[in-house]
Structure formats: structure tokens, C-alpha cells
Structure 1
Amino acid sequence: MAIARFPTFVIDCADPAGLAQFYARMLEWEVKEAEDWFEIRADYGQCICFQKVDDYTAPEWPGQDKPQQMHIDVVVDDLDAGEAAVIELGATKHSHQPGTTFRVFLDPAGHPFCLCSD
């Protein structure tokens, strides 16, 4: 039997409202707000949370001076269409692209995330 259940990812950032909106629009999830804390939730229950951190410093991937602490992989039907859509939402395509079945981007707070082909 599991010790715990229903894991939730919590992402540190300077602007939790803005980052929650970015991911909510990408995933078509609902945004819920609390003081210095935002969450997005799918209708089936999965959740990602965003908390405000004063003096937040974005990771600098792939370097290790300010390493990523996490990243999110999401599956898309078409990498080119997905790329155009996330860039329109405010993502930046990273210059380092180590694979052919996925593409690396930075969210508006500088966290790496990947669009992956199925």
C-alpha cells in the first residue's frame, strides 16, 4: 500500500499568476488562486502549483551553475504546431536541442520544458 497519494508538482517562480496562466493555456486547465500561490487543475484531478519566491533565479540549462530542479514533458500530436503554439503563449525555444523526438523550451520564468512526440 502506498504511503502517500496524489502527488502535486510545485514550481517556484517570481510571478505565480503569470506562470500559472502560461501552463493553463497550454494544457487547457483551470486556474485557482490563493495568496502567493496559484494552481492549475485538470478536470480529471491532476494538478500543478506555482509559488512565489522572492529573489527567484531561473535555471540555466544545460549548464550546471544554476541547474534545473525539475522540468515538465508534455506530449503533442505535432511538434511544429506545438512549437508555434507555445511560442505564441510566451515560451522561448532553447538553442540546445539534444534530440529529434522532443524539443526543449523555456517557460516565461526560465524553467525548461519539453514538447514530446508520442
Structure 2
Amino acid sequence: MEATTEITHQVVVFDAADLNSESRFWAGVLGGTVDYEDDWHTVLVDGSAKVAVQLAPEHVPPQWPDGNPQQIHLDLWVADIEEAHEEVLALGAVLLKAVDDEAPGEGFRVYADPAGHPFCLCWVKRSEAA
């Protein structure tokens, strides 16, 4: 079945009880700015909406991997995992799990943002001989 409606814009929206900490966190991670509204914040990068945060006063953070189910997560590929790791921790992330040894030169780490949403920093180190 072919879609009949053209999607002209899409954005991932996070629910959060604290709009300010959640939107500032994602603006810091993505290198953007926050457009503030009363119950909605949009994170803009180079003038384009990348993610948004919607006020959800009763938001219950997922407890990954056990507990309240994960609703959504982002995989973010980075060039330097140690630098990215330090940056997200400084912005308010919490490390949940590190999987650094599945294959040589690649892996991922799972974090929670300030509202408890899991996200992953992923990397692949290319060999110099390639």
C-alpha cells in the first residue's frame, strides 16, 4: 500500500515532568538551542527541529532494562566514545550499561537522560589499513 499523505516534517518527542532539564540536556547533546513554549520545548539544530519535549506532569521514567518498560530510545553514533561519554554525563545523563567488548573496535553504552529515557552512544573504530 502506498502512502497518500506526504510527511513534510518529523520530530521525536520526549515526555518529561521537567521541561527545562530535559530540553537543555538534548540541546547540549545535539549542539542546539531551545525554543521554549509553556508546555512544549523544541530543540533546534541549524534552524531545524531535531527533538521536542512535551510536558507530562505524571511521566513515569522507564527503568531499563527491568521495571517500567522502555518507550523509545535513540542510537547516536559518535566518533570518540570517551569524549561523548564525558559530555553526556556532564549534561546530566546516567550510565546504565556499557557494552564495549562485543567486537573489536565497536560497541555501545546505554544512558538515561534527565527524564529517564534510555539512549545509546554507539561507535565503530575503522582500521587504519582499510
> TM above 0.5, one fold?
yes
| Counterpart residue number, 1:51 | 54
Given candidates 83, 86, 90, the residue that maps to 1:84 is 86
The answer on whether the counterparts of 2:17 and 2:57 sit within 8 Å (CA) in structure 1 is yes
Q: Any gaps of 5 or more consecutive residues in structure 2? A: 102-106, 125-130
Max Rg structure: 2
Deviations 1:50-90 (A, max 9, x none): 01112211001112x41111011112111111111111111
| Counterpart residue number, 2:69 | 67
| Counterpart residue number, 2:32 | 29
Given candidates 14, 17, 31, the residue that maps to 1:14 is 17
TM-score by length of 2: 0.81
| Counterpart residue number, 1:114 | 120
Range 44-53 or range 21-30, more displaced: 44-53
- Whose strand fraction is larger, Structure 1's or Structure 2's? 2
What percent identity do the matched residue pairs reach?
A: 34
TM-score by length of 1: 0.88
Q: Any gaps of 5 or more consecutive residues in structure 1? A: none
